[in-house]
């Protein structure tokens, strides 16, 4: 039985679980209608006419956004636009603190490097790829992409689903001129801060507003003042009719990754070793970052994006571990594997009986490499930026003589620009303190692992504290004046001196240790495991025909549907699905970084000046929850009603739901959305940007 057919067997038994490939929605259209949907599957995804998919945007590669006007206006989350908002902020003109609203198109702010990607089409190419031998498949995938994209301005890729049991060609258009149009102050966009993150009830106006610009032919173009607002094939009407408990909802976006087929041994490793190690690294980093931000207004702005990035997954992992333990995830996986083996034996399939033990055997070798990779990522990508900055000089330091003059000049220009950006957004003192804190934790976690030996040798008899102190005292990367002077007079001698710089040496040794001792084996074992996992997921569908097993999320466009629902996740806890301005006011704490509301917002809330965005005599809606299966990457995704109108913007899950990437539970997993009525009220009444609302299609 093929993957597509198997996915839909007995769907009604697990109606809320699953992230649907939009080309396959016809198979569940009747079920969606039973839930209350009043449009067709073709209204959601079509190729030869406009459909909802034409309004959905992959924002910056890591979030989702949606068009809400015929002139390229987009909504996404505040936290998705956070880096851009921060990059335009200064102590004197602090958009993070005060918000930003462009009064006209000329005031909309460009964001170099920010992209908006639209789906052209999704095509099942499984048969063609699987017909080729394993050695030929890469070439076949490249040929499929070339056939679909040559000469038409499209980009494309053939993406493996379900560990390679199926393949889809996805063609796209990517726009590079994306401008910031509006953002509420962080006291709205991040209300509740880390305290409320991943928690219900929420009162967070987590949204920001951008616009896509194009050339005069409506095609993607590099930034230019001559560009014009992009005209999407479809934009979402915004409903201010509101929602009721039990109403149909769907979320359409780009969920990142899920791991719902981990074996019991992998879930045990995740909860007992991997997550605690990652949490410990982030505990150490957040202590430094939070102290720095509290000490100085400039540092508060400079380290705001990093604090947000580090804290988000940190709290998720804590909640994930809690949920997996409470749901007895390891035991449930063990029970599934025992039944898998029993049914495989009864079916006369010794190959399937041997699968889980074979996967676990690979995992025994894979787990230490997974831990090493995670530790590397924590230091090099979520630690001090000066380490990755320093390592980027390696080509100049180690091979400048082999470069052409033009290439060398380009390398110097690129590194100079990177240094200037880094110095605007960081502090050498904070970078060194962050390095010190994370290196201490890294040494503790890595222990005497073979891959870490080159770093241990570099440290010698020094403690991490002593090593970092000495390195920071000598390094040009801790002395902005010396670093800039070095770049102003680049030469072979310059690069020779940089080779002995202690920050550069540490970064290159650490990077080489990972690249040589971890990365190749990690990739080899990951590939070996995926081959076995493909057999396992196919085996699950064969041996459990009464159940539906969904392909993991992989950052491709998916749709999930459910209802507006509350939950009762723990004994004595009953969560209703709505929050309002009344709860927002009750959480206000003057002087509290997470819960202080600005005086002008307080005045409007206390006056109940709703201007038609709330029912007569009622409080202003703020957020609501639904039973839509979401994950990271769904941030900014539109929450849609039965007619396909925007009713909210997805931004989070409840803390009790964070384990849903590994184990979904329909009784407790809830996604959190900011109500469209609150979004429009903030833009119009609080922000004074009614001109933005006027260009939307508002359904009243």
What are residue 20's DSSP bridge partners? 559
Q: Measure the CA–CA gap between 501 and 509, rounded to whole angstroms.
A: 12
Contacts of 650 (CB under 8 A, 6+ apart): 64, 251, 253, 628, 630, 634, 635, 636, 637, 638, 639, 671, 672, 673
| Nearby residues of 154 by Cβ (< 8 Å), 6 or more positions away | 120, 148, 171, 172, 173
**237, HSE (Cβ side, Cα atoms, 13 Å):** 13
The DSSP call for residue 226 is T
- Token pair, residue 466, equals 């002593």
Ordered DSSP codes for 146-196: HHHHTTTT-EEEEEEEGGGTEEEEEEEEEE-EEEEEEE--HHHHTTTHHHH
Distance CA 122, CA 511 (A): 37
Reduced to 3 states (helix: H, G, I; strand: E, B; else coil), residue 487 is helix
- Tell how strand 698-699 and strand 238-239 pair up: parallel
Dihedral sign computed on CA atoms, order 440, 442, 445, 450: negative
Q: Which run of H or E residues covers position 471?
A: helix 464-474
Please tell me the distance from the alpha carbon of residue 270 to that of residue 141, in angstroms, as a whole number: 33
What is the DSSP code (8-state) at residue 554? B
| Residue of 654, 633, 640 whose CA lies nearest to 579 | 654
The CA radius of gyration of the chain, in Å to the nearest whole number, is 26
414 included as an active-site residue: no
> Distance (Å, rounded) from C-alpha 318 to C-alpha 189?
23
Catalytic residue among 54, 206, 619, 652: 206
The whole-angstrom separation of Cα 507 and Cα 376 is 11
Q: Strands of 408-472 (E only): list them.
A: none
Choose, from 43, 51, 69, 79, the residue flagged as catalytic.
79
**How far apart are the C-alpha atoms of 84 and 61, rounded to whole Å?**
14
Rounded CA gap, 677 and 648, in Å?
8
Give catalytic status of residue 691 as yes or no.
no
Is 79 annotated in the active site?
Answer: yes
Contact 158, 125 (CB under 8 A): yes
Q: How many CA atoms lie within 13 A of 229 on its CB side?
A: 20
- How far apart are the C-alpha atoms of 356 and 262, rounded to whole Å? 10
C-alpha span between 681 and 81 (Å, rounded): 19
Treating both helix axes as pointing N-terminal to C-terminal, what angle do 355-380 and 275-295 enclose, rounded to 10 degrees? 20
Number of residues that make up the chain: 700
Please count the other Cβ atoms lying within 10 Å of the Cβ belonging to residue 116: 26
User: Which member of 166, 208, 517, 635 is catalytic?
Assistant: 635
Task: Please name which of 9, 179, 89 lies closest in space to residue 545, comparing C-alpha atoms.
Answer: 9
Classify residue 650 by burial, with Cβ atoms within 10 Å: 0-12, 13-18, 19+.
Answer: buried
Beta strands in 392-529 (DSSP E): none
Closest CA to 111 of 87, 89, 95: 87
- Spell out the SS3 assignment of 48-97: CCCCHHHHEEEECCCEEEEECECCCEEEECCCCCHHHHHHCCCCCCCHHH
Annotated catalytic sites, by residue?
79, 206, 635
């Amino acid at each position: 039985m093929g993957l597509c057919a198997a996915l839909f067997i007995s769907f009604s038994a697990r109606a809320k679980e699953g992230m649907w490939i939009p080309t396959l929605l016809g198979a569940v259209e009747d079920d969606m209608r039973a839930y209350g949907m009043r449009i067709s599957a073709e209204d959601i995804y079509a190729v030869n006419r406009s459909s909802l998919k034409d309004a959905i945007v992959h924002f910056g590669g890591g979030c989702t956004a949606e068009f809400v006007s015929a002139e390229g206006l987009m909504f996404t989350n505040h936290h998705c636009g956070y880096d851009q908002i921060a990059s335009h902020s200064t102590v004197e003109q602090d958009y993070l603190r005060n918000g930003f609203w462009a009064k006209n198109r000329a005031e909309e702010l460009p964001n170099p490097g920010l992209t908006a990607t639209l789906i052209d089409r999704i095509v099942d190419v499984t048969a063609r790829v699987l017909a080729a031998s394993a050695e030929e498949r890469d070439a076949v995938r490249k040929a499929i992409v070339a056939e679909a994209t040559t000469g038409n301005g499209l980009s494309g890729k053939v993406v493996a689903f379900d560990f390679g049991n199926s393949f889809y060609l996805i063609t796209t258009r990517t726009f590079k001129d994306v401008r910031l149009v509006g953002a509420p102050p962080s006291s709205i966009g991040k209300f509740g801060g880390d305290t409320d993150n991943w928690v219900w009830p929420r009162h967070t106006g987590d949204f920001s507003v951008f616009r896509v610009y194009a050339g005069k032919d409506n095609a993607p173009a590099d930034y230019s003042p001559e560009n014009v607002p992009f005209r999407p094939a479809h934009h979402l009407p915004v409903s201010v009719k509101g929602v009721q408990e039990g109403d149909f909802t769907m979320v359409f976006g780009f969920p990142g990754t899920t791991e719902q087929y981990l074996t019991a041994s992998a879930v045990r490793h995740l909860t007992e070793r991997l997550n605690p190690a990652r949490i410990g690294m982030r505990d150490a980093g957040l202590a430094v970052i939070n102290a720095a931000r509290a000490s100085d207004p400039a540092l508060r702005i400079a380290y705001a994006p990093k604090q947000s990035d580090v804290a988000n997954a940190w709290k998720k992992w804590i909640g994930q571990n809690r949920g997996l333990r409470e749901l007895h995830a390891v035991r449930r996986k063990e029970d599934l594997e025992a039944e898998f083996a029993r049914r495989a034996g009864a079916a006369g399939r010794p190959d399937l009986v041997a699968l889980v033990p074979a996967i676990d055997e690979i995992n025994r070798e894979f787990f230490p490499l997974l831990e090493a990779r995670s530790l590397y990522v924590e230091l090099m990508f979520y630690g001090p930026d000066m380490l990755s900055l320093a390592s980027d000089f390696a080509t100049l330091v180690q091979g400048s003589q082999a470069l052409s003059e033009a290439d060398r000049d380009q390398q110097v220009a690129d590194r100079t620009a990177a240094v200037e950006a880094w110095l605007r957004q960081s502090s050498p003192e904070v970078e060194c303190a962050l390095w010190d804190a994370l290196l201490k934790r890294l040494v503790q976690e890595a222990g005497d692992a073979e891959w870490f030996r080159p770093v241990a040798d570099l440290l010698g008899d020094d403690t991490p504290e002593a090593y970092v102190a000495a390195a920071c005292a000598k390094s040009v990367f801790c002395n902005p004046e010396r670093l800039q002077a070095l770049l102003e007079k680049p030469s072979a001698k310059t690069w020779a001196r940089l080779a002995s710089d202690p920050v550069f040496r540490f970064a290159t040794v650490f990077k080489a240790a990972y690249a040589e001792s971890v990365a190749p084996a990690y990739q080899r074992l990951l590939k070996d495991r995926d081959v076995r996992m493909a057999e396992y997921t196919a085996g699950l569908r064969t041996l459990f025909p009464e159940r539906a097993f969904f392909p993991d999320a992989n950052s491709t466009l998916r749709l999930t549907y459910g209802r507006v629902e509350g939950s009762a996740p723990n004994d004595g806890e009953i969560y209703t699905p709505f929050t309002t301005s009344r709860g927002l006011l009750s959480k206000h704490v003057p002087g509290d970084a997470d819960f202080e509301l600005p005086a002008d917002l307080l005045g409007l809330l206390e006056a109940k000046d709703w201007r038609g965005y709330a029912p007569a005599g009622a409080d202003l809606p703020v957020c609501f929850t639904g039973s839509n299966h979401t994950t990271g990457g769904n941030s900014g995704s539109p929450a849609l009603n039965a007619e396909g109108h925007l009713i909210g913007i997805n931004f989070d899950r409840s803390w009790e739901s964070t384990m849903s990437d590994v184990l979904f539970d329909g009784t407790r997993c809830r996604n959190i959305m900011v109500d469209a009525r609150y979004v429009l009220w903030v833009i119009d009444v609080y922000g004074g940007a009614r001109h933005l609302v006027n260009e939307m299609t508002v359904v009243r």
